[in-house]
Structure 1
Amino acid sequence: MKRWLSGFLVLLAGAAGAADFDYGLKAQRVADGVHAFIGKTEDFTPANGGNIVNTGFIVAPGGIIVIDSGPSRRYGEQMRRAIAAVDQRPLVLVINTHHHPDHFLGNQAFAGVPLAALPGTIKGIGEEGNAFAENLFRLTGDWMQGTEVVVPGQALRAGHQETAGRRLRLLALAGHTEADLAIYDETSGVLFTGDLGFFERAPTTPHADVGRWLAALDALEAITREPGFRAIVPGHGPVARDAAPLRQTRAWLNWLQMALRRSAEEGLDMNETMARAIPAEFAVLPLSASEYRRSVGHLFPGVEQEILEPAR
């Protein structure tokens, strides 16, 4: 009886926390003028409202640059208030690193601020944004109330960009999606990887090209060897002061690729592949089992076709 009552009270507390739709956003200082909002290492649930993502902002001399806008209109609105509590300068730019919903569905809250992304991300949000929003509503419920898709209007390209007096290095990469933008703030030495970097959380792969992703990780790790480098803000997981998020993501992808190829070579089907054991170093990561199963569903058919089809 006591166990049942305890469980009921936990559920009741969770419902009460969700009822006020407060994401509890608190800016974490990463470096001078650079802050991040660190999400939970969980999957989307009605309890967390989709707050499983890292977003951030850079305080430049002429205004504030926002990196990703979160999973909902409510998140974006709360993010704006949390930013204003740190610095009152005007918002001058919102950058979406890629087209997955937890990174752009807060755009609506930044009316009047230019929204920017790579051309491939703009295309992806335009084509898939509404379906993403509907799916997130199913997963998180009323946290999404009033959220509408807003497509960025400014196309970014790789190279250096001076924004509000801050020099940014934009890296147009791919692998997690068709268009993945990483942002290196050369003033502070902070690298925002978007979802090319996961840390202490298993990576997601719904649009992944593992080979291109591994190449992108190599390009990002080269930045961590530069003299001015200070920190990484990954797309998911805690801030790091070294290349650990990139190395952990690379290790997972290398293992995943090897495991899928081995299964295909051994003639295993998808269910048998999903039943494979996850190595201990990865099994401890949050969501490792569920993300592995999803990755088998996303990637195994292509690997199987590559291995089993006769050479032409």
Structure 2
Amino acid sequence: MRIDLPRRNFIKGFACVGAGAAMLPCCLPRVALAAGGLAFTMREIANGVFTFQGVNELMTPVNQGAIANIGLVVGNDASAVIDSGGSMVEGQALANAVKEITDRPVRYLINTHMHPDHIFGNAAFPDATVVGHRNLPGALEARSAFYLQSYRNQLGDALMKDIAIVPPALLVDDRLELDLGGRRLELRAWQPAHTDNDLTVRDIASGTFFAGDLVFMGHLPTLDGSLLGWMHQMEALAAVDARRVVPGHGPSPTDWPAALTAERRYFEALARDVRKAIADGVPLAEAVKTAGRGERERWALFDDYNERNATAAFAELEWE
């Protein structure tokens, strides 16, 4: 069974899961996000662990905001969803898919960080306890008005309908363990890196690590927190005891910790180029045009995000 994101009209049908999901329905539905839109299919990657893989694109009306990877873990008593997608259309498709997979209620909706492609579907899970990093409420409060306006311009009124910024009710200060009934999830709050509110989830039973946007594959990493913080935490990140990782963007799942190799290389190149520009007295406006350019052919969306990353890196590194 595979994730299917075809750019074609609504597809009806079911994809059968493999062995190891005997406690679940024998088939997983492929749910249309909207008429004429993308199909939404969840794939079982380990016993009781499912993912949806987003596309490596900017959020647009065509992809309906479905660009981030999403997770589901099913226990004996309850289930947990990791991130809710980039629109209520996607969030509702996710909720419908979960109901087809399991009758265990969604007890927790875990948000890995503040960005709209991960939280705009939150309102599709009104009965779940939303869980987030200790800094997530403040980040959402500071940005919610901007998000709702700027993404209305980007996605259009139809896809922004019914979106509500739903803050977490349960906060993770450092680490927190959630019990789904015979299945435990280990949540960890990180220091500023991709954002200042990055949260990861490890399913202990299967060794599956939901890294959120602390891990990008294929899609250029985006910097909205601290480059130095991200780089300094790479060893701790790589030390997480997991068999596989679900990155925030890119192939899901993939080998761990090998998934960090390309990201680490990009950060080192970006930092090296920015430091050299600062040492040579190159002004910011010129430095951001060349910093990290050696990585351009290795990443999707490089031209969309690299100069912004370089600008943030320059502002941070000039005060080292």
Q: TM-score range by the shorter chain?
A: 0.7 to 0.9
Deviation, structure 1 residue 160: 4.7
| SS of match in other structure, 2:238 | helix
1:113 to 128, 135, 138: 128
Identity %: 30
Alignment match, 2:199:
181
Q: How many residue pairs get matched?
A: 288
Matched, 1:295 2:313: no
Matched, 1:30 2:45: yes
Moved over 6 A (4+): none
Matched, 1:221 2:234: no
Matched, 1:208 2:225: yes
Cα deviation 1:137-186 (Å, max 9, x = unaligned)? 21111222221211111112333513222212222103111121111111
The 1:19–1:68 alpha-carbon spacing in structure 2 relative to 1, beyond 3 Å, is: closer
1:300 partner amino acid: F
Cα deviation 1:250-302 (Å, max 9, x = unaligned)? 22111111111111112222332233275555522101222111212333234
Distance in 2, Cα, partners of 1:279 & 1:300 = 15
| SS of match in other structure, 1:235 | strand
1:60 to 75, 81, 105: 75
Matched, 1:158 2:174: yes
Moved more, 157-166 or 135-144: 157-166
The 1:18–1:57 alpha-carbon spacing in structure 2 relative to 1, beyond 3 Å, is: closer
Contact 1:160 1:167 in 2 (8 A): no
1:256 to 258, 270, 294: 270
Deviation, structure 1 residue 40: 0.5
Contact 1:283 1:289 in 2 (8 A): no
Cα deviation 1:75-111 (Å, max 9, x = unaligned)? 1111011112222221111011111111111111111
Matched, 1:199 2:226: no
Distance in 2, Cα, partners of 1:249 & 1:122 = 28
The Cα RMSD (Å) is: 2.3
Q: Pairwise mapping of residues 42-191 of structure 1 onto structure 2 (< 5 A)?
A: 42-141=57-156, 142-165=158-181, 166-174=183-191, 175-191=193-209
Q: Pairwise mapping of residues 239-278 of structure 1 onto structure 2 (< 5 A)?
A: 239=252, 240-276=254-290, 278=292
Matched, 1:236 2:253: no
Alignment match, 1:8:
none
Structure 1, unaligned stretches of length 5 or more? Answer: 1-11, 308-312
Deviation, structure 1 residue 243: 1.6
1:265 partner amino acid: A
Contact 1:63 1:92 in 2 (8 A): yes
1:289 partner amino acid: D
Cα deviation 1:2-60 (Å, max 9, x = unaligned)? xxxxxxxxxx989xx99737442110222111111110011122211221111111011
Contact 1:108 1:150 in 2 (8 A): yes
Distance in 2, Cα, partners of 1:133 & 1:246 = 32
Say which structure is richer in helix: 1
Distance in 1, Cα, partners of 2:205 & 2:305 = 36
Distance in 2, Cα, partners of 1:288 & 1:162 = 37
